[in-house]
Amino acid sequence: MPRSNQQLHIHREPASTRPAATVLLMRDAPTGNGDTVLEVLMTRRSPHASFLPGAYVFPGGGVDAQDASPASHAQTDHRPTQDAQRVTEAIAGIRESFEELGILIARHAEDGRFADATDIAAIDRSKPFVPQCAALGLRLAADDMHVLAHWTADRTSPKRFSVPFLVRRMPQGQEPVADESEQFEPVWVRPADALALHKEGKFFMIFPTIRTLDHLTRYPTVQALLDAISRDEAPLWNCCPRSGLVKGRETRFMDHEPAFGELALVTPDGQILHPLDWQSEHAVPLLKNVQRLTAPNPGVMTGPGTNSYLVGDPSTGYIAIDPGPDDAGHLERLWRAAGGDIRQIVCTHSHPDHSPGARPLQTLVEQYGKPRPPILGLASRPTAQAHSHFTPDRELADGELLQLRGPSPQGEVTHTLQAIHTPGHAANHVCFMLREDGLLFSGDHILNGSTTVVSPPDGNMDDYLESLSKLDAACGEFDANFIAPAHGYVIEKAREAIARLHAHRLAREAKVLKAMQAIPDGDVDDWVKIAYDDVPERMWPVALRSLQAHVDRIRAMEPGN
């Protein structure tokens, strides 16, 4: 993990969380043409509420002591897989649904008959809920409530809840009646309609509600959603959103979105300070000793552009990683961001968006009176294409250390990059581990938002997969949780990202093999239609390169080879 003294912002401890529960009550509503569509019950919070005034929400609230009591658990039907915590959450959701909307999720112990209007009328919403149910012979029906998702409030929120979002069908024969104190205007709404109204400014909702509704749009019926929910009591997703600045405005992101990992690195405590707009005019600080400057070469293959990185600080000087294309403006901005003090220039590989800027940057440093920084990396191999020719001043040995040292108020400061040979995307590919801060500079071997292209003969799929395993081991050795790729934002949970990438490549290879078996006399132009049927056709010319790499690997594994 990054050293605390290299973090950009003073740490602020987030408020502790309180347990809560939310219930999504759903029904299938007729559309008028004989079909049905999923609808969910929502309600508007009081405009005077201390928390989320005026917001449209799902019923729910905080877990209280009675929800977790043995007496309440004894009055509740639940599945064997629901542990005590899950039962407590379900009880809280059932209680809140009744207190806020008069929905009674309970059945008679005697005959299993579900609660009806008579039972509802017999229970006082303002008095303890479970004892009243027990007196009426009712058992709480937690056994048909399932966890959809788990949300935790933003780290910057002064009042934070940790909330499972539970789902179940609306009990038949019941109608919601708001308590008119906390909740108003219960409404059945299609998820897509709620999202459209919110976009028009007519239906105020907060981020978790919006993203949950967005997920619900995937399901045409209640049963389709219930069929998709995990049966091991695990939510489909867990999320504590992170926020950054996009065009100067606060913008939230979920864990799976590209910007999330970068925010986890730069503002781990959730402070909303980090700009996320892609631009090429200014270096973006990621840590005190790491800056990123993105080259002005956006495109299909480069995403927002090639990331050049500076590692170091004014006391140690800097190492420039991947100076990028030969773009005079970009190289001057990179030189200025380093205060002119670039001690070494390293290239992850020889592709034309990574290494051509190395010689001009070296010359620029010299022109302004600084010592000539050596260019380091691996020379392009004979298999490289003509536009990828690269010859460093010196080749880096696998595992070689590049170290910067300088004074600091606490004594000497060091920044150490370890070279890791990672052929696969290119035969001369090298990644770099910033050892003190557990930050991996992955070049093109690992990207954010897409998988890299492995193009034979310079690219090799066997080498690529072996290099992934090598990087996983390095991340374990140096407790590296973050990856700084050559294209895209910083990636969090490095080893999980590597595992997903490894699994993706093997899954793709299985599809390639299936295509080869389906059309044994075919070629890559035939097989791509099957193996990459989930990729837009316009991208197939690019996909053909990696497909060929998979074909080569499959054929090399055949008996006799």
| Domain of residue 291, CATH code | 3.60.15.10
Q: What's the CA gap between 174 and 117, in Å, rounded?
A: 7
Both 358 and 472 in one domain: the answer is: yes
Both 328 and 208 in one domain: the answer is: no
CATH of the domain at 177: 3.90.79.10
Let me know: does 51 contact 159? Beta carbons within 8 Å.
yes
Percent of the chain with pLDDT over 90: 92
Both 462 and 545 in one domain: the answer is: no
Both 171 and 288 in one domain: the answer is: no
Q: Is the pLDDT of residue 561 over 80?
A: no
Q: What is the pLDDT of residue 503?
A: 97
Which residue reads 């509802």 in tokens?
120
Both 94 and 207 in one domain: the answer is: yes
Q: What's the CA gap between 421 and 496, in Å, rounded?
A: 21
Mode of pairing for the β-strands spanning 36-45 and 17-30: antiparallel
Q: Please, what sign has the CA dihedral across residues 90, 93, 97, 98?
A: positive
Both 43 and 101 in one domain: the answer is: yes
Percent of the chain with pLDDT over 70: 100
Both 527 and 479 in one domain: the answer is: no
178-192, 329-343, 372-386: segment of lowest average pLDDT: 178-192
CA distances to 98, 261, 327, 346, 559 from 311, in Å: 57, 19, 20, 11, 47
Both 513 and 464 in one domain: the answer is: no
Burial classification of residue 51, based on how many CB atoms lie within 10 Å of its CB (0-12 exposed, 13-18 middle, 19 or more buried): middle
Q: What's the CA gap between 274 and 286, in Å, rounded?
A: 9
What's the average model confidence in pLDDT over 23-47? 91
Interval 417-454: pLDDT, tens: 999 999 999 999 999 999 999 999 999 999 998 999 99
Tell me whether residue 269 is in a domain.
no
Q: What is the pLDDT of residue 183?
A: 77
**DSSP assignment string, 102-137:** ----EEETTT-PBP-HHHHHTS-TTS-HHHHHHHTT
Tell me whether residue 455 is in a domain.
yes
28-42, 233-247, 268-282, 523-537: segment of lowest average pLDDT: 28-42
What's the average model confidence in pLDDT over 473-478? 98
What's the average model confidence in pLDDT over 390-414? 94
Q: How many domains does the chain have?
A: 3
Cβ-proximal residues to 131 (8 Å cutoff; 6+ apart), any chain: 71
Tell me whether residue 480 is in a domain.
yes
Q: What is the pLDDT of residue 252?
A: 96
Tell me whether residue 121 is in a domain.
yes
Tokens matching residue 82: 């629901």
Tell me whether residue 252 is in a domain.
no
Tell me whether residue 92 is in a domain.
yes
Q: What is the pLDDT of residue 550?
A: 97
Tell me whether residue 441 is in a domain.
yes
Tell me whether residue 245 is in a domain.
no
Both 356 and 471 in one domain: the answer is: yes
Torsion of CA 536, 538, 539, 544, to 10 degrees: 110
Q: What is the pLDDT of residue 125?
A: 92
Interval 70-126: pLDDT, tens: 999 999 999 999 999 999 999 999 999 999 999 999 999 999 999 999 999 999 999
- pTM score of the predicted model: 0.93
Both 485 and 521 in one domain: the answer is: no
Which residue, among 279, 276, 282, 280, has the nearest Cα to 258 in the 3D structure? 276
What's the average model confidence in pLDDT over 293-318? 97
Q: Which domain holds residue 387?
A: 278-495
Q: Is the pLDDT of residue 405 over 90?
A: yes
Q: Which of these three, 214, 239, 264, is where a domain ends?
A: 239
Maximum alpha-carbon separation in the chain: 91
pLDDT band for position 238 (50/70/90)?
Answer: very high
Both 357 and 296 in one domain: the answer is: yes
Q: Three-state SS across 366-415? A: HHCCCCCCCEEECCCCCCCCHHHCCCCCEECCCCCEEEEEEEECCEEEEE
Q: Which of these three, 473, 495, 517, is where a domain ends?
A: 495
pLDDT band for position 258 (50/70/90)?
Answer: very high
Q: What is the pLDDT of residue 182?
A: 74
Asked, as a colleague might, if the bond just before 457 is cis with ω within 30 of 0, I would say yes
Both 294 and 193 in one domain: the answer is: no
Q: What is the pLDDT of residue 423?
A: 98
pLDDT band for position 508 (50/70/90)?
Answer: very high
Q: Is the pLDDT of residue 375 over 90?
A: yes
Q: Which of these three, 188, 217, 239, is where a domain ends?
A: 239
Q: What are phi and psi of 201, to 5 degrees?
A: 80, 20
Q: Is the pLDDT of residue 335 over 80?
A: yes
Let me know: does 431 contact 471? Beta carbons within 8 Å.
yes
